[in-house]
Structure 1
């Protein structure tokens, strides 16, 4: 090597940024992981401390700034377990502790994946705006992966669902579920930059009290979202409302051995329906639609003349069709979860079959394999098969009104792709039928209700969420709660529900927001892998007194 080349190499090495921040001591890193997961849990219902989610991501980021990738893995796992094991406690109501904990551990592995990828970017690129954008995009990518794979994924615990009571929800119709996840992760990165600077852990960029600036930017960004308008508010309202009654009949506990619905479920819902009919008749209100929840009739009323007669008579007295939830056998080993419309004329012209059955809850994938691990798989004796058609019921075509009603069943409200489908197919309002009795006194019901509110704002559609035992509620397209029935109460939702036909930017973009952000994360990761820069302080280069 010539003297000139050696000098050039020396200059390159000397100008390469290094030692940007000090690594987090391993005990503190582990504490950040566990505490961060707890903070994330507190962001979701029933605690609703949404501002703890950016703090949780900040703590995760701080815990990842360690020398060892193995330690970063453990930090990420602790964070994921502290969030997902208690968040999915409802999964053990009837199946027991083993499936519940297995679900929590499996979901936590996605946080491990994010942690290792994020650490790579932060260590190789340092803490700068570009790395913050890449890490936030990776957060979206991993959430998207978790919501789609395997077996259709499970979006429970997605960042957006912690924001039901946050001003950030005003961004939802503009940037969608993926955009909200990106915004929360970016806030977490800003808080991380500020915290490291104020605590004296940074050596470049924001240091010391200059770290107040990232805090100020984060707070200002949140405050700015308060005045973000809903994109459909300025659109002309051609179809103002439809009058809907949502029936929450409530019932006794589900038999934990047979896993069957109690005998009083049909009678309770019929009694509440009769009460609503009397109320509306006395004040002159004309109903457009009556909605019963998922599983409210047990097996198919079209196969039971007595049930069909009682439902038809109720629809006739109300002067409105009745949408019920039922189960339909398909052969000896399968079933459909259906929403069936019954008219005052005694016909059933429309039925929607749930398109996204829940793995391990409504069907068992690889049943023979998982039976070798636990006999709990046999609690699901009939595998639910998916429907094929998007659930949009055109009441005008059925001579039952002039409205187009989108239909989703239970967990389907958590999947933004399914919500987008019904809106794209013309739904002016979305009805969600659910049976939260399956989860007892856990927090599943209130968490699902938060999902309904978030999806109402994202889609620009009113959401009528009706459960057997609650919580039931109607949300306007702006997220305003119009009516509500509490958990385990017997009652009815009754309201003029706003209708909308406009399309929000989030729905118009479809999957491309999540695809674009995920691609940004992957490209940024690949670029980081192409450099040998390391922003962590190394022992050999530490100055005395540091």
Structure 2
């Protein structure tokens, strides 16, 4: 202090009072607090390039199926989803699975646009939901050793669930159905469609495993591949090649125990689309007309008399038991051709008023209608309306299904003339159990009676015919597909299409059909391979969850090791 300056005020030093406890912090305003929806949106924005890649893979997977038949794309789609889900969280994997599944099913099921695009999107959305747990499971099990194995099993588990629920399931879009004429196809004789799916998924997952390990090395050291990595890569690629080639080692039995000559009548319809039935008797008269022409050719010596004739589903649009006119024209056709006809007809239920049965009826030229098979698995919303009372008030389009189809309870093994055939009606060819039970009950060849007029020229008939090709190899049986408007075909036991018709033409196919009694390994094992593979995948997923829970508990316990140490 300089001389002459006044002394500053002296403030006595005192002990600072104790700080009062801080009031509890008020929660941040809702606008500032990130909610679950905002976090989800942010995560979606952060992963949109990967989701876009998954969507493109889904479209590529659809192109693997008929009518395009670029089957290697099924491997690519599996590989892409495996790469995208690798090392991700379960939620991220679920999102990528859905991003692949929705465009896949929209593109695959676009033939349903005949009914309406809302039907395409609605069913696709339901089916894509099964890819949500698939994606989550792929992400979780990608942290395990032998990840490609668990991935392939999870693909089987996804199809196992989708083939059964809801409302009896919808098996369209199985990996096996994109591989009905590929190196994987013969595996169906050992483990059915599930084993084909497993092999395709395993190959794709192995390719993904190799790509995940090769790509970083190529980016960092494009001219050098460490020996420690080269060996596992070679092993993965070699195993993928071995799985692909494994089908060539499976014997596909085609030798016949007996043969029967057949004629398949495709009568055609007057118009495609939802209203193909048109005026009553029109479709029936078409099939009668084609059969009478066949009889004229037989009498004139232009063709030999077959042992039996096969008509398609709904060949008779009237119940021949209650409509005398329908009975008379069918009986006339059978007498003219002189051999039994397997007639597809809609028949009123004998005891339940208002219900109809979709039947295949053996019509003898002398004794008339005899044994019959009733379709076991009517199509929801196509042949019956679930929750009709509740839904019909909201969806007026359901009125176009005026009567519900009543399901049958027995397999379709029928004696048609000298042949013991197994009848499978339309979409039933997609269901493993129905076809397998028919073969195990004694069918020596299979007949798929179908009516694809609603979906003509949309790609759906080609997709359904591909299923017949796989079933032929799976069960070692020749398969005859008889369609009202096409595609009718004769498929050999090795899956080769020997004859086929064009769509929307009246035609008759004649062939010598091989009959076989031997059952394949797949017939003997039944659904066991599918259950086993699905269970392995689900147990692997559950095992990772259990392991992670044990680690968290160990890390949180007092004196326990850190989570990193565990």
TM-score bracket, normalised by the shorter chain, equals: 0.7 to 0.9
Q: So what's the TM-score if we normalise by structure 1? A: 0.86
Measure, in 2, the Cα distance between the counterparts of 1:255 and 1:132.
Answer: 43
Within the alignment, does 1:180 sit opposite 2:196 as a pair?
A: yes
User: Displacement of 1:31 after TM fit?
Assistant: 2.8
Would the aligned equivalents of 1:138 and 1:521 in 2 still touch at CA under 8 Å? yes
User: Displacement of 1:372 after TM fit?
Assistant: 5.1
Within the alignment, does 1:388 sit opposite 2:409 as a pair?
A: yes
Measure, in 1, the Cα distance between the counterparts of 2:526 and 2:247.
Answer: 22
- Matching residue of 1:253: 271
- Matching residue of 1:335: 356
* Mean CA deviation greater in 298-307 or 359-368: 298-307
Query: In the superposition, relative to structure 1, how do residues 443 and 457 fare at CA in structure 2: closer, same or farther (>3 Å)?
Result: same
Measure, in 2, the Cα distance between the counterparts of 1:533 and 1:200.
Answer: 31
- Matching residue of 2:60: 39
- Matching residue of 2:534: 518
Structure ID, larger Rg: 2
- Matching residue of 1:266: 284
The root-mean-square deviation of aligned C-alpha atoms, in Å, is 2.5
Measure, in 1, the Cα distance between the counterparts of 2:200 and 2:275.
Answer: 42
Measure, in 2, the Cα distance between the counterparts of 1:315 and 1:512.
Answer: 43
Task: Identify which of structures 1 and 2 has the higher relative contact order when contacts are C-alpha pairs closer than 8 Å and 6+ apart.
Answer: 1
Measure, in 1, the Cα distance between the counterparts of 2:298 and 2:176.
Answer: 37
Measure, in 2, the Cα distance between the counterparts of 1:507 and 1:206.
Answer: 44
Would the aligned equivalents of 2:199 and 2:244 in 1 still touch at CA under 8 Å? no
Measure, in 2, the Cα distance between the counterparts of 1:471 and 1:496.
Answer: 19
Measure, in 1, the Cα distance between the counterparts of 2:279 and 2:168.
Answer: 27
Describe the superposition over 1:224-259 as per-residue Cα deviations: whole angstroms up to 9, x where unpaired.
4335321x34x7x432x1111111111122574697
* Paired residues, number: 496
User: Displacement of 1:371 after TM fit?
Assistant: 3.2
Q: State how 1:92-103 maps to structure 2 within 5 Å.
A: 92-93=113-114, 95-103=115-123
* Mean CA deviation greater in 517-526 or 79-88: 517-526
Would the aligned equivalents of 1:249 and 1:469 in 2 still touch at CA under 8 Å? yes
Describe the superposition over 1:468-504 as per-residue Cα deviations: whole angstroms up to 9, x where unpaired.
1111101111112121101122211210011100000
1:292 to 300, 307, 311: 311
Within the alignment, does 1:222 sit opposite 2:244 as a pair?
A: yes
Measure, in 2, the Cα distance between the counterparts of 1:206 and 1:99.
Answer: 52
Describe the superposition over 1:154-209 as per-residue Cα deviations: whole angstroms up to 9, x where unpaired.
11111111111212111111121111111111011111011112211799998479
User: Displacement of 1:347 after TM fit?
Assistant: 1.7
Structure 1, unaligned runs of 5 or more? 1-24, 535-546
Measure, in 2, the Cα distance between the counterparts of 1:34 and 1:346.
Answer: 58
* Mean CA deviation greater in 67-76 or 342-351: 67-76
SS at match of 2:530: helix
SS at match of 2:181: coil
Q: State how 1:150-189 maps to structure 2 within 5 Å.
A: 150-189=166-205
Would the aligned equivalents of 1:432 and 1:466 in 2 still touch at CA under 8 Å? yes
Measure, in 1, the Cα distance between the counterparts of 2:522 and 2:60.
Answer: 28
- Matching residue of 1:326: 345
Structure 2, unaligned runs of 5 or more? 1-45, 221-225, 551-566
Within the alignment, does 1:275 sit opposite 2:293 as a pair?
A: yes
